[in-house]
C-alpha cells in the first residue's frame, strides 16, 4: 500500500493534511519532516486540529501500554 | 497508521524564487496579467517595490506589490480604490499559490511524487510514495 499525503490549501492559507497508508506512528515522523521542509520556505504551521485515524490511535495506545508496563517492571 | 492535521499558516522570510514563480502563475491566470517591479499610485506615478514583484491585471491596473519587511514578513502594497475585491482576491491567490508550490517542493524532497489540482477555491496536492 503506498503512503499518501494529501494537502488541501484554502484561499485563506489554512491547510488540511491527510496522511494515509503509514505503518504505526510513522505518519507523525512524516508530518514533522513536512513541517521542517515547509519552514525552509518560510512557512510556519500552527496546528489547529489533530485527528488520529483509528489505526494510529490503536498504535499510540499500545505504545502507552508498553511504556506503562516497562515503568511498572522498573519500579 | 494515519492522521489528519489542520493548520493555520504564516509566511516569513519566503523563498524569493518560489515567490516569483507564484506571482507569475497568478499573473498568468488573469486577463492582462503581468509581473512588474513597481506599482502605480493614484497619480499614475511609479512606486518601486522592494521585492521587485508586483502583479498587474486588466482590473487591478495600478498593480499590487509584495513588500518584505526587515523581519521577513510579507505585506501587500497598492491602491485598491474601486477594485478592493479583486485586490483582496489577488493577495489570497498569491499566498495560496506560494503555499501550494512550497508544499509540492517539500513533498518532492521527501521522495513523494506530487500533483496539484484546483478544486473550486481550494488547491489539492496529492503526494504518493511507493517505497
Task: Give the pLDDT confidence of B65-100 residue by residue, as tens digits.
Answer: 999 999 999 999 999 999 999 999 999 999 999 999
How many CB atoms lie under 10 A from the CB of residue B91?
A: 20
pTM: 0.90
Whole-angstrom distance, CA of residue B16 vs CA of residue B13: 9
Structural domain count of chain B: 1
Q: Check if the beta carbon of residue B37 is closer than 8 Å to that of residue B54.
A: yes
B55/A contact by beta carbon, under 8 A: no
pLDDT tens for residues B22-50? 999 999 999 999 999 999 998 999 999 99
Would you state the pLDDT for residue A60?
Answer: 72
Taking CA–CA distances from B72, the nearest residue in chain A reads A42
Q: Which is nearest to A21 in space by CA: B106, B105, B127, B107?
A: B127
Residue B9 lies in a domain: no
Cα–Cα separations (whole angstroms), residue A25 to A57, B37, B103: 9, 47, 22
Which residue's C-alpha cell is 485563506?
Answer: A12
Taking CA–CA distances from A18, the nearest residue in chain B reads B4
Structural domain count of chain A: 1
pLDDT tens for residues A16-64? 999 999 988 899 999 999 999 999 999 999 999 999 988 777 777 777 6
Contact B96/A17, CB-based, under 8 Å?
no
Contact A53/B5, CB-based, under 8 Å?
no
Residue B109 lies in a domain: yes
Residue B113 lies in a domain: yes
Contact B128/A40, CB-based, under 8 Å?
no
| Domain hosting residue B30, numbered range | 16-128
| Domain hosting residue A27, numbered range | 4-74
Amino acid at each position: 500500500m503506498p503512503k499518501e499525503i494529501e494537502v488541501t490549501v484554502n484561499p485563506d492559507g489554512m491547510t488540511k493534511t491527510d496522511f494515509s497508508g503509514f505503518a504505526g506512528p510513522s505518519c507523525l515522523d512524516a508530518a514533522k519532516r513536512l513541517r521542517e521542509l515547509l519552514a525552509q520556505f518560510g512557512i510556519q504551521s500552527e496546528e489547529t486540529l489533530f485527528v488520529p485515524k483509528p489505526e494510529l490511535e490503536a498504535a499510540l495506545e499500545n505504545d502507552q501500554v508498553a511504556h506503562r508496563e516497562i515503568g511498572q517492571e522498573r519500579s | 497508521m494515519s492522521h489528519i492535521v489542520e493548520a493555520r499558516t504564516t509566511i516569513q522570510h519566503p523563498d524569493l524564487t518560489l515567490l516569483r514563480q507564484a506571482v507569475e502563475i497568478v499573473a498568468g491566470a488573469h486577463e492582462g496579467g503581468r509581473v512588474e517591479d513597481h506599482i502605480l499610485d493614484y497619480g499614475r506615478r511609479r512606486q518601486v517595490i522592494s521585492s521587485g514583484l508586483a502583479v498587474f491585471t486588466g482590473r487591478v491596473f495600478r498593480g499590487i506589490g509584495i513588500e518584505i519587511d526587515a523581519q521577513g514578513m510579507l505585506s501587500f502594497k497598492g491602491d485598491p480604490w474601486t477594485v478592493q475585491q479583486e485586490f483582496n482576491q489577488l493577495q489570497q491567490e498569491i499566498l495560496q499559490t506560494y503555499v501550494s508550490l512550497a508544499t509540492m517542493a517539500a513533498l518532492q524532497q521527501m521522495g513523494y511524487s506530487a500533483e496539484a489540482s484546483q478544486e473550486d477555491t481550494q488547491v489539492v496536492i496529492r503526494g504518493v510514495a511507493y517505497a
